[in-house]
Amino acid sequence: MDLNELKAIQLAELFSALSDASRVRLISLLIEDEMSVSKLAARLKMTESAVSHQLRGLRQLHLVRARRSGRQVFYSIDDDHVSRLFTLGLDHVRHG
Amino acid sequence: MDLNELKAIQLAELFSALSDASRVRLISLLIEDEMSVSKLAARLKMTESAVSHQLRGLRQLHLVRARRSGRQVFYSIDDDHVSRLFTLGLDHVRHG
DNA sequence: TTAATATATGATTACTTGTTCAACTATTCA
DNA sequence: TGAATAGTTGAACAAGTAATCATATATTAA
C-alpha cells in the first residue's frame, strides 16, 4: 500500500484536522449537536476569534458546515467519516 | 461528548502521528510488512536520520515497534487501531 | 440611521515541528 | 583489533501553525 504523494498529503490534511486538542474538543462538541460560534467559544474557553479561525480551516476541508440564523452562525459536522475517526481514536486512547 | 483535557490531548497526539505526509507514507509501508530503517529511507526518499527521528516519535506513542536483527532494525505496526484509522481515512479521501 | 451583537479576517507574534548535519553507539566481518 | 555498515541522537535552522489584537462585515433592534 505505497500511497502516491497526493493521497498521502490529503490523508495527512485530514488527520491534521484532529491533531490539536482545541480542535478535538471543538469537534467532540459538534458531534453531539450543532452549535454557534459564541457557545463553542464559551464551552472551550477560547476567544470567538480563535474558534472562528479554527472553524475556517475545518470548513475548507469540508469537515464542518455553517448555517446562519440571524446574527448567529451554527456549525455542524459535515462528514460522517469524522465522527467515525473520532470514535475509533477514542477507542485507542481508552484501551489502547 | 465533552472530553476532558487529558483525553483531548491524547487524541490529538494520536492523530498527529498521521498528520504529516512522510509519516503517512511510512506507516502505509509498515502496514504491508515490517521494514528496516534503511529500506524505509530508500522507499521514502528520505535520509535515514529523518526516518529515524520520525520512528522515534511513533515508538513513543506505541504505534510502531522495533526489532533488531544484526545491524538492522526492523519496524512494524504495534497497534491495530492505526491500520483501522488509516483505512477509514483513506475511505474519506477516496470518496469523501 | 445609529448602536449593539455575532462572526470573520489579516497581521503579528510565540510556539511547534520536520529536516539536516555532525557526532555517536552497536554490530559484523576481515 | 580496525574498518565498514546500520541506526540513533542532539543541536540548529526553516517552515508551519495557533492565539491575539485590531479591524471589518453582517444582522437586528431602537
Overall fold of domain A14-94? Arc Repressor Mutant, subunit A (1.10.10)
Number of C-beta neighbours around residue A35 at 10 A: 20
pLDDT for B96 equals 66
- What's the gap between Cα A8 and its chain centre? 20
Q: What is the pLDDT along chain B (96 residues), one digit of tens a residue?
A: 668 889 999 999 999 999 999 999 999 999 999 999 999 999 999 999 999 999 999 999 999 999 999 999 999 999 889 999 999 999 888 876
pLDDT for B10 equals 95
**pLDDT surpassing 80 at residue A13:** yes
DSSP conformation letters of B25-58: HHHHHHHHS-EEHHHHHHHHT--HHHHHHHHHHH
Answer yes or no: are the C-beta atoms of B32 and B67 closer than 8 Å.
no
Question: Which helix (H) or strand (E) is B88 found in, with range?
Answer: helix B80-94
pLDDT for A7 equals 94
Rg (Cα) of chain B, in Å, rounded? 14
Average pLDDT, chain A: 95
**pLDDT surpassing 80 at residue A76:** yes
Q: What is the mean pLDDT of residues A73-90?
A: 94
Question: Which helix (H) or strand (E) is A67 found in, with range?
Answer: strand A64-69
Cβ of B85 within 8 Å of Cβ of A88? The answer is: yes
- Give me the CATH code for the B20-94 domain, please: 1.10.10.10
Q: Is the CB of A22 under 7 A from strand D?
A: yes
**pLDDT surpassing 80 at residue A96:** no
Percent with pLDDT over 90 in chain B: 85
Q: Is the CB of B46 under 7 A from strand C?
A: yes
Number of C-beta neighbours around residue B6 at 10 A: 10
Cβ of A21 within 8 Å of Cβ of B11? The answer is: yes
Residues in Cβ contact with B6 at an 8 Å cutoff, skipping those fewer than 6 apart? none
Question: What nucleotide is nearest B20 when CA is compared to C1'?
Answer: C18
